[in-house]
Structure 1
Amino acid sequence: MYLYILYKEAIIIKSLQIGDLIAKVPIIQGGMGVGISRSSLASAVARAGGVGVISGVHVGYDEEDFETNTLNANLRALKKHIIKAKENAPKGIIGVNLMVAMNNYEQHVKEAISAGVDLIISGAGLPSKLPSLVKGSKVKIAPIISTSKACKVILKMWDRKEKMTADLIVVEGPNAGGHLGYHKEELKNMDSIDYDKEFVEILKVTKEYEEKYNKKIPVVAAGGIFTGEDVLKYINLGASGVQVGTKFVATHECDASPEFKNTYINSNKEDINLVISPVGMPGRAIHNKFIEKVSANRPKITKCYNCLIPCNPKDTPYCISEALINAVKGDVDNALLFCGSNAYKVDRLYSVDEVISELTCKL
């Protein structure tokens, strides 16, 4: 067991160990795209002792050739932001979040490895090929799952096909933002989801592979975690740490526009609603003019960014790439504003250090 001592506050905090990587505080910053978490936010979290994560979804949205050469722009930017984050946090841990549903997923994984990333976190599908892609490197791998069933499937698959297991498991609950691993009807009836019970079951599944591979596989809780009490709850439940997204959006270091950050600060609880993305996955977002507009009339889609495998521009209700790019740039009336269920609790801008301090205050 590794312990990190904050001498000024005389607090002893358990560190998060992922193989040979040790984060001084058990906090992983969630990967948020498009462009919400890039090198600025990720390096700030890593310097503060947590795990900083860059989202790989259209990470090159502001490259000069993004519109004409989207894939190369994204791969170039992914490498650039990983290198920059590593330079700005030379002793920290930098990860990337790459959705399995992305087109050109394997190319993004390979680019992240070549750039020197420490950890690859993958959800929005089962990352069946991830172990083979990282073989021969020191890069750690982590699936994002929501159920013990999914945990069994992916760990069994990696064990059987690759003779490998996970280095970390992220358990995303129903209170997270972005794309969620639940059916819309489940999310409408939140009482039907016993996340804590499912988390304990996932710990049991993981233990089997810890014993087989003689290694510790940390399991972290994610989704709706906002306070020090939340963090302590899941540590006491058996978590090795937590993943947090929403609270890091409203930080000075976050890569998003001030306008996007202010939508969190100015939101009310009733503003946060469930939405269905163009690929049929439920998510959570702040209600705005854009949601009203696309609910009334399907906008004309003039360009396809070829971002997600299941998306077909002929029948998609709107272009999710355009909507998320508008968000990060600050055109919030024409944007999809993904957020976690507790976004309305954000009341001001914080520094990353303040957020880390609040999250660990009960440990």
Structure 2
Amino acid sequence: MTKPVMPDTLPQIIQGGMGVAISDWRLAKAVSQVGQLGIVSGTGIDSLMTRRLQDGDLDGSTRRALEHFPNQEMVQRALDGYFIEGGRAPDQPYKRVPLPSVKKLNPAWELAIVGGFVETWLAKEGHDGLVGMNLLTKLQMHTMPPLLGAMLAGVDFVIMGAGIPREIPAVLDNFSVGQPGVLKLDVKGEPTDQSTRLTLDPAEYGLDPVTLGTGDLKRPNFLPIITSHVLAQTLARKASGSVEGFVIEAPTAGGHNAPPRGKMQLDELGQPIYGERDLADLEQMRELGLPFWLAGGSGSPEGLQNALSEGAAGIQVGTLFAYCTDSGMDDGLRREALSQIKGGAGLRTDPLASPTGFPFKVVQLSHTMANPQLYAERTRICDIGYLREAYWEEGKDGTGKIGLRCASEPIETYVRKGGTLEATVGRKCLCNGLMADAGFPQIQKGGEVELPLLTSGDDVIKLAHWQDRFSAADVVSYLKGETQPQSDKQGQATGQADVDSRPMAGHL
């Protein structure tokens, strides 16, 4: 195994790994080029790549990266299956990646390997800055393929939360020497004498060092996202391999939040109530001797200085980067969101929105799935399937099999699979909503276009005082205390990029 090597100078700012292409390669590259740690999201990377191809890959970036992938047979299958010269017609639905099952993981896994490579390769193209990949631990069926693809492209860091990623270090170790990665699949109701495991062998895809005739892959540094110093201590001592540091996420961070410790209590708005028990003890973190970064409510110069004074290496910031012009957010959604935020649109930590059971922060925008009326009018469907849970289905002959279900799929389907009616209440299709956030909404039967579901951290309220357009470099400059990119009377600001030179996504 190639041991991970931490950089001599640690980045003070980690750009957050916002899911499904908000943290795309352009944003990660922009952050890396100004000396901080840029992060690409590996979530939904197979669907993301195939939808870019179906939109014609008009700037040629995806195909440019594909030329460097080490197995061109895999590349050709992706192009044959999804590339449309000039792009699909505006009313043409996206061709979907077939939903994987435990017994049939391809072509989804193959496409995710290629997609993970493409996103990482593009983020690292043309500079020597640091690039990481973010993934959600709970998405067990969709974790190893993007990791392998990212490692083939030389990813420097892997950052994972939304669960306890105890097994990931060993997967990284194994992939670095071309050996199979193995993850236990959590199967609800599975007999205690059984244990289902997922295995990804690089050799089966012709991606091992022997087949490629190359040396070992670089083993990236691994930073789990944790909320508790107790979990950090456990991972540092009992993970399946080395852990190089931690991101400590407070409940104010965007996206999925860890549930409060103890019995769930809600405030008058139906939001989870967090307390002192939900904050990590930084003295205990310092005693571990590993670098850590603070996330959630730290997106300011004062937040960075406070983190450094507490012994942290720096901060992780998501929300400010999500709304900058370098992020993958659909430009029309970005403009509308900023307008509504300045008009008083709020943020709600919804304990029910996510099918995973984790609280999920949602910006309350009237034209998105946050609107109860629009949510009720949507036809429920599970056609992307990243958040499906595995469950044990007992057969009549005494044998059993593993099924997959999602609390946001059609209610009768979920109940038929053994789910409870109560579990479906308020559940939203994050997969389709987040794809729409990035400008890739599916067109369902009857022409129904999937609506966005925008997530942010509590720092979103600060954007009411910011200019309408600012770059990733502006955010870094602001966080380091070098500029103040806030609106003046004319709505302009210092350090602002004059125009967004990146093409608009144009899907909203």
Aligned to 1:203: 285
Q: CA deviation at 1:98?
A: 1.1
Q: Secondary structure at the match of 1:185?
A: coil
Please tell me whether the aligned partners of residues 219 and 239 of structure 1 are also in contact (alpha carbons under 8 angstroms): yes
Alpha-carbon offset, residue 341 of structure 1: 0.6
Partner of 1:192: 275
- CA deviations 1:112-139 (Å, max 9, x no partner) are 2122111110111111211111114431
For residue 22 of structure 2, the aligned residue among 25, 33, 36 is: 36
In structure 2, the CA distance between the partners of 1:174 and 1:295, relative to structure 1 (3 Å rule), is: farther
- Separation in 1, partners of 2:149, 2:375: 40
- Which letter maps to 1:150? L
Alignment of 1:146-225 (within 5 A): 146-158=227-239, 162=240, 164-183=241-260, 185=265, 188=271, 192-193=275-276, 198-204=280-286, 207-208=287-288, 210=289, 217-225=290-298
Secondary structure of the equivalent of 2:280? helix
Q: Kindly provide the amino acid, as one letter, of the partner of residue 328 in structure 1.
A: A
Are residue 281 (structure 1) and residue 370 (structure 2) matched? no
Could you say if the C-alpha distance between residues 252 and 104 of structure 1 is closer, same or farther in structure 2, counting changes exceeding 3 Å? closer
CA–CA separation in structure 1 for the residues paired with 2:20 and 2:265: 26
For structure 1, the 5+ residue unaligned runs are 1-17, 211-216
Q: Distance in 2 between matches of 1:131 and 1:227?
A: 32
Q: Displacement, 1:288?
A: 2.6
**Counterpart in the other structure of 1:272:** 347
Which runs of structure 2 are paired with 1:277-356 in the superposition (5 Å)?
277-289=354-366, 290-293=369-372, 297=376, 299-310=378-389, 312=406, 313=409, 314-315=413-414, 316=424, 317-329=427-439, 334-346=451-463, 347=466, 348-356=468-476
Matches of 1:94 and 1:113 in 2, distance apart? Answer: 11
TM-score (norm 2): 0.60
Give SS of 1:297's match: helix
Match of 1:94 among 113, 119, 131: 131
Distance (Å, rounded) in 2 between the aligned partners of 1:39 and 1:23: 23
Gaps of at least 5 residues in structure 2 are 55-81, 83-94, 100-107, 177-217, 390-404, 415-423, 442-448, 483-508
For 1:77, which of 115, 124, 132 is the aligned residue?
115
Paired residue for 2:494? none
Question: Following TM superposition, by how much is the alpha carbon of 1:105 offset from its aligned partner in structure 2, in angstroms?
Answer: 1.3
Q: Alignment partner for residue 227 of structure 1, among 300, 309, 317?
A: 300
Higher deviation after alignment, 299-308 or 272-281:
299-308
Q: Which residue of 2 aligns with 1:67?
A: 96
The structure in which a higher percent of residues are helix is 1
249-258 or 300-309, larger mean C-alpha shift: 300-309
SS of the residue corresponding to residue 438 of structure 2 reads: helix
CA distance in 1, matches of 2:332, 2:461: 15
Aligned 8 A contact 1:23 1:49 in 2: no
CA-atom RMSD, angstroms?
Answer: 2.8
Q: Is 2:199 the counterpart of 1:124? A: no
The reply to whether residue 139 of structure 1 matches residue 211 of structure 2 is no
Find the residue that maps to 1:179 and give its secondary structure: coil
**Does the alignment pair 1:53 with 2:23?**
no
Greater mean alpha carbon deviation, residues 73-82 or residues 35-44: 73-82
| Alpha carbons of structure 1 residues 294 and 141: separation in structure 2 relative to 1, 3 Å | farther
Normalising by structure 1, we get a TM-score of: 0.82
Distance 1:176 1:79 in 2: 28
* Distance of aligned partners of 1:349 and 1:22 in 2 relative to their CA distance in 1, 3 Å threshold: farther
Matched, 1:106 2:223: no
| Identical-residue share of aligned pairs (%) | 23
